[in-house]
Amino acid sequence: ADIKLLLFNRVLFGGVVTQVLSKSTVGLGVYFLLMDTGWFSVTPEAVLPGYVCALIFTVTLFIVDDYSRYWTHRALHRIPILWEFHKVHHSATTLTPLTVFRTHPLEAIVFSIRGALVQGTVVGIAFAVFGSNLNLLTILGANFLSVLFHAVGSNLRHSHIPLRYPRWLEHWLVSPAQHQLHHSVSEEHFDKNFGVAFACWDLIHGTHHFSQARRLTYGLSDNFECDRTKQTLSHLLSAPFTAAYRHLTHFARTALSSAVTKDNKIAVWTGLTLISQVIRFRSFQSQK
């Protein structure tokens, strides 16, 4: 199922989002918007060495991008409709390097839009502040901080290898074992360790959990997709839409019921007000 989803997302959805919204489109829009303000007639590049500007830009981009990943991931868990689509990823009962590609196309689109908006905005601001000659510090074309993060074992997050970091380091970086705990079916691990690179986001927002030297069971507690008979591409693609539709209809019924109840209360209040006014009028007439 993981390979099928990978191929499906890459072949059918690879260019859909980028044709509509891309980092370069957002970046250019932000850049020209800021330049129109006239605030950036003098850039720090005039007084700072180019490598310092590049370092500031590279670190800022990595931090802001990672923080946005934290909140996007958290939203996928906390918003019921989005959770139905993120369940596809969490339905894996065995973690392998391919599990990272076990993503519903709708979730892939959400993350693509996030990347375009967040990274594009940072790039646009950076070019407005530091000038058009700004460079990103890279290793083989990738952000050097991403390369360093992967070098300490982050690619083992979706694997059977529970690589743990020293406790002090797990305050700051998400270890593979911490992310594996995020996939656990144990209730104590629910909604923990949303971070991708930095664990400090979880620490700040109360969702942090240290790794544990124990055997974990992966999957979903509600058995949404864990049945092997349901591990087909068609089911993984369609089931979230069915569940999301149920959430929408339930929300619509609840909202309608609340509106009707509110209208009834208004009607009752209006009726009682009119009755009281009639009684007062008749009392006044009788006194005359």
Predicted confidence at residue 283, as pLDDT, reads: 45
pLDDT bin (cut points 50, 70, 90) of residue 22 is: confident
The CB-side HSE value for 228 (13 A sphere, CA atoms) comes to: 1
User: Where exactly are the structural domains of the chain?
Assistant: 2-231
Comparison of pLDDT for 47 and 109, the residue scoring more:
109
Distance of alpha carbon 213 from alpha carbon 217, whole angstroms: 13
Read off the pTM: 0.82
Q: Report, as an integer, the average pLDDT of 37-48.
A: 66
Tokens for 191, please give them. 């909604």
Q: DSSP labels for 116-152?
A: HHHHHHHHHHHHHHH-TT----EETTEEHHHHHHHHT
Residues 6 or more apart from 242 whose CB is under 8 A from it?
none
Predicted confidence at residue 273, as pLDDT, reads: 55
pLDDT of 236 over the 80 cut: yes
pLDDT of 288 over the 60 cut: no
| 186 touches 216 (CB < 8 A) | yes
Region for 209 from its dihedrals, namely left if φ exceeds 0, alpha if ψ lies in -120 to 50, beta otherwise: beta
pLDDT of 287 over the 60 cut: no
Q: What does the pLDDT look like over 147-185, one tens digit per residue?
A: 888 887 778 899 989 999 999 999 999 999 999 999 999
pLDDT of 135 over the 80 cut: yes
Specify burial of residue 87 (Cβ count, 10 A radius: 0-12, 13-18, 19+): buried
